[in-house]
Amino acid sequence: MTSTALSQFSIPFLMGSSLNVWSEALAGFNLFGLPLGLVILAAIPLVFIALYSLTYGVYGERKISAFMQDRLGPMEVGKWGILQTIADILKLLQKEDVVPTSADKFLFVVGPGILFVGSFLAYAVLPFSPAFIGASLNVGLFYAIGIVALEVVGILAAGWGSNNKWSLYGAVRSVAQIVSYEIPAAIALLCGAMMAGTLDMQKIIAIQSGSLGFAHFFLFQNPIAWLPFLIYFIASLAEVNRAPFDIPEAESELVAGYFTEYSGMKFAVIFLAEYGSMFMVSAIISIVFLGGWNSPLPNIGPIALNDLTNGPVWGAFWIIMKGFFFIFVQMWLRWTLPRLRVDQLMYLCWKVLTPFAFVSFVLTAIWEVYVP
Amino acid sequence: MSNPTYTVIFYLFAAITVFSAAFVVFTRNVIYSAFSLLFTFFGVAALYVFLSADFIAVTQVVVYVGGILVLLLFGVMFTNGIMQTGQKSEVFHIIPGTVLLVGIIGALLYTFYTSHGWMPSETTLQGSIVERIGFETMSRYVLPFEMVSILLLAALIGAAFLARFDKSEK
């Protein structure tokens, strides 16, 4: 059983040109009749989230924020403080697992779990490479927008379960924000889906490939595409509670919002969920508008840069780099812009982003129908 | 679908749906009821996936979990003293209730046992289910679709009107 699975593996391992070769080979991999391959398939994004949030998420954010403020950031643990994250994790692991006496024990414990599952479920439809996707659904994009709802329920469970006024306020603010900003975000993504004519993530990306590299990306295919791109980027900041929309965890008003009472590993799980959804929205924006795993380099005459830099492994490199770029922009904005007030937040969503999202929707439709 | 893995997963989701739905009804805590409803909705969505209706499954999650459940939780959390309020109604109609229950179960079981042969559709599904739904909505079912959108628009305007800040009352 194992040897046949491996032989399936080795042939298309680096060379395969058809879609989803790796994930299909993994899904067919059974050990003693148990679908072990499916488990590995689900574990790969999980390991990715853990690794990326430990390295780039925690350490990178500290260093980036420090450099932006003309500081040095963590410097003590290891050379340039690179072991700081490991020290933090050891500290979090050793911490006592405190559950407040008056908290709703069950919801308090379950909340971070639901939150993480909600942010992790969307990874099922994120194509990490032309050869790898968790589930190639024909409703992939719709699923990725919709599954955020679970995260909302997790936040409410954590906020209510803590039995703390700050937590409840934070949870209610966060949910109001996520639910409102889902509307402009969904309409902006609909523009991308209209240009692709499909909701399947792999097909959306495949349509954007070509020898001219970045010129085939939807952002450059349509004179209005920058508008839904910007709208989705702003709305996605609000959906993952990043600055300038971090009012659910506004330190100066609410201590830490819905996770005020959490410490130790539960706090770590909440943070993992937050970093998970940061990469998720960054990957979605790069899939819908910036060609996902396609190389941005064009073929220049005889120098076939585009052909050289495409393929399963390069694809994984490009999509992760594009995601990391948007995470960098999120961090950059966090240390640049002040926080919005609650009423400004709602004003921006309902009176600015939503009408412009509809305008871009109609203009994209006109462009798609009348311009060949 | 004869794969044992699929069978196990199917029964797992069926059990989740049934037990969480029972929990919604029998628990004394309103918040637990609302959170348990989450698992019921997800279980039903999973059962839709087993019927190859992916689009309906995702719509189920978007509408019921993202919309209705969040609204429900908001309502519960903003209601003062909801944990103290008794949930037991003072009015009891045991005999009509039992008759209704037995009648409904009987009718459902009768329908199930008399027409258990599934009727496969004459035309098989070709291509993506999303495209098919889009074409049908925009062609054969365009009138119901527009009627629903007008209804929702009216509801939206009505809600905005009711929630509006009234200047004369100040």
- The model's pLDDT over B100-138, given as tens digits with 9 standing for 90+, comes to 999 999 999 888 888 766 666 666 666 677 888 888 888
pLDDT of residue B86: 64
Q: What is the DSSP letter of A349?
A: I
Written as six digits, the tokens of B83 are: 């944990």
Chains A, B: CB contacts within 8 A come to 69
Query: Per residue in A128-156, pLDDT tens?
Result: 888 778 777 788 888 888 888 888 888 88
pLDDT of residue A33: 65
A8 within some domain: no
Residue A247 pLDDT exceeds 60? yes
Q: What is the DSSP letter of A338?
A: P
DSSP class per residue in A30-81: -BTTB-HHHHHHHHHHHHHHHHHIIIIIIIIHHHHHHHHTT-----SSSGGG
Best of B30, B35, B152 to disrupt the A interface (most A CBs within 10 Å) is B35
Q: A 188-207 residues with CB below 8 A of B?
A: 198-200
User: Which one is predicted more confidently, A352 or B74?
Assistant: A352
- Residues in A closer than 8 angstroms to B70, CB to CB, are 149, 152-153, 156, 175, 179
pLDDT of residue B80: 64
Mean of all residue pLDDT scores within chain A: 81
Q: B 84-123 residues with CB below 8 A of A?
A: none
Per mean pLDDT, which range of A195-204, A327-336, B37-46, B88-97 is the poorest?
B88-97
CB burial string A41-69: b at 16+ within 10 A, e below: beebbeebbeebbbebbbbbbbbbebeee
**Residues in Cβ contact with B15 at an 8 Å cutoff, skipping those fewer than 6 apart:** none
Structural domain boundaries in chain B: 1-80, 129-170
pLDDT of residue B19: 92
Answer whether B135 touches A (CB < 8 Å).
no
A216 within some domain: yes
Class of domain B1-80: mainly alpha
Give the closest residue to A187 by CA, choosing from A152, A232, A226. A232
Task: Say if the Cβ atoms of A139 and B55 lie within 8 Å.
Answer: yes
pLDDT of residue A4: 38
Mean pLDDT in residue range A154-166: 83
How sure is the predictor about A7, in pLDDT bands with cuts at 50, 70 and 90? very low
How sure is the predictor about A11, in pLDDT bands with cuts at 50, 70 and 90? very low
Query: Per residue in B58-111, pLDDT tens?
Result: 888 888 888 888 888 888 877 766 666 666 667 778 888 899 999 999 999 888
Kindly report the pTM of this predicted structure: 0.83
**d(Cα A225, Cα A367) in Å, to the nearest integer?**
10
Q: Are A81 and A74 in contact (CB under 8 A)?
A: yes
pLDDT of residue A6: 38
- Residues in A closer than 8 angstroms to B38, CB to CB, are 114, 150, 153
How many other CB atoms are found less than 10 A from the CB of residue B87? 10
Using CB atoms, pick whichever of A106, A153, A172 lies closest to residue B69. A153
- Nearest-neighbour CA in chain B from A193: distance (Å): 12
Answer whether B38 touches A (CB < 8 Å).
yes
Query: Per residue in A171-217, pLDDT tens?
Result: 888 888 888 888 899 999 988 888 888 888 888 888 888 777 777 88
Helix pair angle (A264-289, A84-94), 10° resolution: 130
Mean pLDDT in residue range A89-104: 81
A20 within some domain: no
Residue A10 pLDDT exceeds 60? no
Number of domains in chain A: 1
Cross-strand bridge partners of residue A127:
A133
User: Which one is predicted more confidently, A88 or B165?
Assistant: A88
Mean pLDDT in residue range A51-67: 83
Domain of residue A187, residue span = 104-370
Q: What angle do CA A283, B135, A197 make, to 5 degrees?
A: 30
A3 within some domain: no
Shortest CA distance from A153: residue in chain B: B70
Answer whether A106 touches B (CB < 8 Å).
yes
User: Which one is predicted more confidently, A19 or A5?
Assistant: A19
Query: Per residue in A282-316, pLDDT tens?
Result: 999 999 888 888 888 777 777 777 777 777 788 88
